[in-house]
Amino acid sequence: VSTQSTGTMKYLLLTLLVLWFYVQVNAAPKPNILFVHVDSMDGRLALPGSPALLPNLNKLMNRGVQFVNTYSPSPECVPSRSALWSGRRTDQTGAWNNGQGLPLDYPISMIKTKASGYDIKFIGRRDFNSKGDGYDPNKKNFGGDFPDTVSDSHTLSANLSAWLRSVPGLNLPQTAHQVAFVHNNQIKEYHTLDWNRSTDCVEFLKLRANNSRPFFLSCGFLCPHPTYETTDYWYQNGVDATKITLPVWKNNVDSHPVQRYESDTKNFTYWPGVNYTDQDILAIRHTYYAMVAEADAIVGRVLDALDATGLVDNTCLLYTSDAADEEDS
């Protein structure tokens, strides 16, 4: 489990290298590898005192090792994932923003893992390759459930914002005013895309229970990525509201230029006729924590299947996030 004391999660390069070395020197039997990754979860939420209630991650941490000084190589999603899968920094890969991931033919860790005798399966989120020569929208490498490249919306917004950055003082908002949506119902499986992905992961584990060949399974989930949206079930049952606090906010005069730019372009300081109240901010944070709690339950379904199939005794499990959100940011 990767956590982060300064606001983001991971950089598992060292962990993956150690695991790869372990696989090489312990050729028989090779352990299965289950890599579970969520999007935009702050690692500090897995530490004591978190407003989000995370029974499954707590159980996992009690059975494993926490990496509390790890970090993300980039605050943006695609560059962070590109570094994770390639084992190289952003300045080495050239994957600078959400519109520019790894080239389609870039060597990633899965190539070496497959060469070591592993069956590879991707389920859910990947989003680290750029479209380019040889792009096929129907191609799904390594058993993925959708094309491998970054989304069109990522590409358009990232490239447009990169162009706007070259104009001094033109810090126009890229996104709509951030609000929280809490739906008045008791639906537990609200983020259905990720729940369906967890079901696919469970079915894969069941099929592999009596297979002697080692596997690498990547389970990628979008939750708790914005937009901040949840149901009364998670808002009421997934969060300890007494632990929700207002973030420390620096005004634009005192903050770092990059923070000022992010505040403007992420639409936290500029919106005609709209100002954030303390209640607005607390509601957004409450909703985010509720989404983290739902992500915990989604991951818990996979962890339960690992135990139920007996695969847990010969499986190395890694859990992380690409970057962080919300916590004191």
Q: Is 77 tagged catalytic?
A: yes
- Looking at the DSSP bridge assignments, the partners of residue 102 are 129
Contact (Cβ atoms closer than 8 angstroms) between residue 301 and residue 308: no
DSSP string for 74-125? -SSHHHHHHHHHHSS-HHHH---STT--B-TT---HHHHHHHTT-EEEEEE-
- Of 324, 247, 268, 243, residue with least CA distance to 53: 243
HSE-CB of 58 using CA atoms within 13 angstroms: 10
Q: Which residue has the tokens 């300890």?
A: 240
27: left (phi over 0), alpha (psi -120 to 50) or beta: alpha
Asked if residue 140 lies in contact with residue 117, where contact means CB atoms within 8 angstroms, the answer is: no
Q: How far apart are CA 154 and CA 97, in angstroms?
A: 9
Catalytic residue among 77, 201, 219, 223: 77
Kind of pairing between the strands at 180-183 and 315-321: unpaired
Residues 6 or more apart in contact with residue 175 via CB below 8 angstroms = 265, 266, 267
The residues near 297 (Cβ < 8 Å, ≥ 6 apart) are 56, 188
Cα separation, 71 vs 66, whole angstroms: 13
Positive or negative, the Cα torsion across 185, 191, 193, 196?
negative
CB 185 within 8 A of CB 289: no
Query: Which residues does the annotation mark as catalytic?
Result: 77
